Amino acid sequence: MQITLPKFLKEDKLIWESSSTGNLSLKEAFLFKYGVGQNISWAKDVLSPDIPPSKSLMTWRLMHNKLPTDDNMALRGCNLPSMCSSCHAFGETAFHLFFECSFAQKLWSWLASLLNKPLLFNSLADIWAILDNSWTPQCKVVVQACIVNLLNIIWYRRNNIRFQDKIVDW
């Protein structure tokens, strides 16, 4: 026995809301999942073949605000008392840990003295403004490696203090 619906009723149909037609296509599913490609100016500086992938990965996670700092852990529901492991003066945020903390400031001052250039950071993206287009490619690679390694040293120190109770002096 077949049931026929009255003309004013239509059969239920799945509709893909992210599509203009309501139909799901492979292309639209891919664009929904991965989005349109990002134009990240610092990506080529971080993912350089001259920098070890383990160092690049930590920097990539920092730039995408994905490091497990206290403020990021709180956003994910893990609310613990927060204190910077290096200076013990402020709550731990990525920006504080990598730029405002006294340990980080000593490292950035050291790099600024080598480059003979003042370094001012208002955001994470400001790190890559250090790279000067007038430098030779070899010099640029060295400065890129310096930046990535300084960031890794700060993270390494934070983790050694927090998890192994070891202080790494600058």
User: Residue 60's pLDDT band (boundaries 50, 70, 90)?
Assistant: very high
CA 164-168-170 angle, 5° bins: 160
User: Residue 66's pLDDT band (boundaries 50, 70, 90)?
Assistant: very high
The region of weakest confidence among 48-52, 96-100, 129-133, 147-151 is 129-133
Whether 71 is in a domain gets the answer yes
CA distance 127 to 154: 14
pLDDT digits (tens, 9 = 90+) for 67-126: 999 999 999 898 888 899 888 899 999 999 999 999 999 999 999 999 998 888 998 888
Whether 22 is in a domain gets the answer no
Whether 135 is in a domain gets the answer yes
Structural domain span for residue 105:
43-164
Total domain count, the chain: 1
Whether 18 is in a domain gets the answer no
Whether 10 is in a domain gets the answer no
How long, in residues, is the chain? Answer: 170
Q: In what helix (H) or strand (E) does residue 95 lie, and over which residues does it extend? A: helix 94-95
CB-facing half-sphere around the CA of 18: CA atoms within 13 A = 11
User: Residue 41's pLDDT band (boundaries 50, 70, 90)?
Assistant: confident
Whether 16 is in a domain gets the answer no
